[in-house]
Structure 1
Amino acid sequence: MSSILIRDNDAVYINPPASTINIHLTEHGSDWYWAAFSLIAVSTLGYVVSAAFVPRRERIFHYFAIGAGMFASIAYFTMASDLGSAGVSTEFSHYQGGGVRQVFYARYIGWFMVSPLILANVFMFSGVAWPTILMSLAAQEIYVVAFLVAAVVSSSYKWGFFTFGICAWWLVIYHLIFVAFPSAKKQSSDIKKHVLIMISGISFIWMLYPISFGLSEGGNVISPDSEAAFYGVLDMISLPIFCSYFIFVSRKTSVERLGLAFDHGFKPAIGSLPMSEKQAALEAGQARSEPERHSGETAVAQDESPAHSEVDPVNIPAEQVV
C-alpha cells in the first residue's frame, strides 16, 4: 500500500543530461518544476471554464490568458521532465568551480510565446494605438531572443547579446510607463487604477529577470535548482497571478469601454443566416434597389404617354374623319 501512495520523481534519471554536464538539475529542482507546471495547468483550465460563462465578444482577455497558460504549461512540463536543455561551458567558476552548465532553452521558447500575450493585455486595457502595441511586442521578442542567444554562448560575447536584450527591454518598459499609463489616464478612474497596478507589477517583476540571468546562465553564481526557484517564482507571478487579475478585471469592464468590440468584421453570406435574418437582408436589398426601379418605370411611362406617341392616320376610324 505504501508503494502505491509514494510517488518518486524519476524524471532526472529517465532523462539524464549528457555525461559532460557537471552542473545540472537535481530531483529537487525537478520537483519544483512539476509543482509550477501543476499550478499553471490548473489555472489554464480555470480560464477555459471562466470563458464559457462570458459572451464570445467579451473573451479576448480569456483567450490570451488561455494561450499563455498553454504555452507555459508545455515549457514547464518539458523542464520538469529534464528535457529541452543543452550543455554550455561556463565563463565563470563561482559555482562548483565552473565546467559545463545545463541551460534550458525550453524556458526561452516558452517566454517567446507567453510574454507578448501578457504584454498585449496591458496595452489593450490602456487603450494604446495598435502600431505602438506591435512595436512593443516586437521589442519584447527581441529581448527574449537576445537572452536565449546569450544563454547558449560560452564566451564573453554573451554579454553583447545581453546588452541587446536590455536595450529592447528598456523600450518595452518605456512604452509601459510613458505611453500606456498616460493613455489609461484618459479613460475612467477604475480602468486607470487597474492599469496602474498592472504596469507597476509587470515592470517590477520583469526587472528581476535580467538579475536572475546574471546569477544563473550568465554568471554561474547559483545552482540550477536555485535557478529553477528564482525563475519559477517570477513566472508564477507573471502567469497565474497577472493573468487571473486580467480575467477578474475584464469581467467587470465591457469591451465597448476599451474599444475592443470587434463587431464589424466579415459578414456571413445570406444563405448561411437564419431565416429571420435572411429575410431582413433580402428586404434591405430590395429597399436599396427600389429607387432605381421606380425611375425606370417613370421613363417607360413617359415614353408611352399620348404626348410622346405617334398616331397612325390610316387606322383612324371612319366616323372620326370629318
Structure 2
Amino acid sequence: MSILVPRGNEALKLNPPFGLDIHITTHGSDWYWTVFSLFALASLGGLVFSRIGPQTGSKFFYYNYMFSTFVLSIAYYTMASDLGWTGIQAEFNHATVDDGGLVPGIRQIFYTRYVGWFLAFPPLVANFAVLSALPISTSFFTVLTVEVFVVSLLIGSLIHSTYKWGYFVFAVVSILLTAYNLFFSFRRAATSNVSHITGAVKTVTFGVSAVAGLMFLYPLSWGLSEGGNVIQPDSEAVFYGVIDICMFIAVPTFFIFTTSTIEAESLGLRNFNTPLFHSDNLAAEKEARYSGDTAVSNFAPTQPAAGTEPVSVPEPVATNPAAANAV
C-alpha cells in the first residue's frame, strides 16, 4: 500500500541557480507558480467567455486578451521553473542571498520576463486603440514606444556598469511618450469617434489611465531590483507579479466585460470577419450559389426556356470564285 506524500516545489533542486549570489528561493518560485496559474486561468477564462458570452460579431478583443495572458503564463511558468535567466554582476552590494566571495555578487536576471512583456503589451494597447478609433499612425507609434521601453530595460538589466542607467532613462522617456498618447490621444479620439456608443468613452478613459499609471511602476521596480540591487529577487518577483496581474488581468478583464455588448459594426469592425485573402463579396457569392441545402454548380448546363427553339447559325459565305460560279 502506497503512501501519498506531498511533493512540494522542487524547481530549484531540478534547475539549481549555479554561479549566482543573488537569486530566487523556493518562496519566490512558489509565487511565480501562483502568478502562472492566474494567467493560465485568465487565458482559459477568456476563451470560454468568447464562446458563451455575448456574440457581437468580432472576437478581436477576446483574441488580444487571450494572447497576452497566454504569453505571460508561459513566461511565468519559465521563471517558476527557475529557467530563462542569466547572471549579471550587480553594480551595488545592497542585497545578497549566497556569499560567493564576489563583491558585489552575481544577480539572477530573468530575461524571460522581458520577452513576455514584448509580446503581451501590443495586444493590450491595440484593444484600446481600436475601441477609441485611434488613427493608425498614432496606434503604431504608441505600440513602438512601449516596445522601446521594454527593450531598454532589458538591455540595462544585462549591463554591469553604471551605463545601465542610460537605458533606464530611455525607458522612462518611452513611458512618458506612451503615457502622453494614452492620456490625451486615446481619450480625445474616443470622445470624437465613439461617444455615441454607451460606455465606450468611460472604458477608454479609465483603462488608459490605469495602464499609464501602472507603467510608471515598472521602472521603479527595475531600479530597486535589477538596477540598484536594493531588494531580494523574491521581493522583485512579488513586485513585478502584482503589477503584471493588475496590468494584464485586472484592466483587460474590465475592458472585456464593459465592451462585451458593443456591436462590432458600430466600431467599423465588420471587415474583421471577412476572409483575409478573398474578395469582400465572398459571402454574397456563396449565398447566391447556394439555395437551401442544394448547391448550384457553376458548371451546370444552361437549359433553354420552354417553347424556345434553338437558333441555327448561318453558314459562312463562300469566298472562292470557283465555288461561287458553280451550279
Instruction: Answer yes or no: same fold by TM over 0.5.
Output: yes
| Counterpart selection for 1:142 from 144, 148, 166 | 148
| Counterpart selection for 1:278 from 264, 269, 289 | 289
Structure 1 contact 143–166 (Cα < 8 Å) conserved: yes
Q: Residue in 2 aligned with 1:208?
A: 217
Aligned-residue CA RMSD (Å): 2.6
After TM superposition, the structure 1 stretch with the greater mean CA deviation from structure 2, 126-135 or 33-42, is: 126-135
Q: State the identity %.
A: 38
The answer to whether the aligner puts 1:24 opposite 2:23 as a matched pair is yes
| Counterpart selection for 1:169 from 172, 175, 178 | 175
Q: Distance in 1 between matches of 2:10 and 2:256?
A: 36
How far the C-alpha of 1:223 sits from its partner, in A, is: 0.2
Structure 1's 27 and 210: CA in aligned 2 closer, same or farther, altered over 3 A? same
Q: Which amino acid aligns with 1:267?
A: S
Secondary structure of the corresponding residue to residue 88 of structure 2: strand
Q: Distance in 2 between matches of 1:14 and 1:277?
A: 62
Q: State the TM-score, normalized to the length of structure 1.
A: 0.81
How far the C-alpha of 1:7 sits from its partner, in A, is: 3.2
Structure 2 contact 199–258 (Cα < 8 Å) conserved: no
Q: Which has the larger radius of gyration?
A: 1
Structure 1 contact 98–220 (Cα < 8 Å) conserved: no
Q: Distance in 2 between matches of 1:200 and 1:56?
A: 26
Q: Residue in 1 aligned with 2:314?
A: none
1:99-110 pair list within 5 angstroms: 99-110=105-116
Q: Which amino acid aligns with 1:46?
A: G
Q: Distance in 1 between matches of 2:61 and 2:119?
A: 16
More helix per residue: 1
1:32-71 pair list within 5 angstroms: 32-53=31-52, 55=55, 57-71=57-71
Secondary structure of the corresponding residue to residue 88 of structure 1: strand
Q: Which amino acid aligns with 2:73?
A: S
Structure 1's 256 and 270: CA in aligned 2 closer, same or farther, altered over 3 A? closer
Structure 2 contact 85–108 (Cα < 8 Å) conserved: yes
Gap runs ≥5 in structure 1:
284-322
| Counterpart selection for 2:201 from 192, 200, 208 | 192
1:1-322 pair list within 5 angstroms: 4=4, 6-18=6-18, 20-53=19-52, 55=55, 57-96=57-96, 98-186=104-192, 187-188=194-195, 190-262=199-271, 266-267=278-279, 274=286, 276-278=287-289
How far the C-alpha of 1:246 sits from its partner, in A, is: 2.0
How far the C-alpha of 1:267 sits from its partner, in A, is: 2.3
Q: Distance in 2 between matches of 1:7 and 1:203?
A: 41
Q: Distance in 2 between matches of 1:42 and 1:9?
A: 20
After TM superposition, the structure 1 stretch with the greater mean CA deviation from structure 2, 246-255 or 143-152, is: 246-255
How many residues are matched? Answer: 281
Structure 1's 103 and 271: CA in aligned 2 closer, same or farther, altered over 3 A? closer
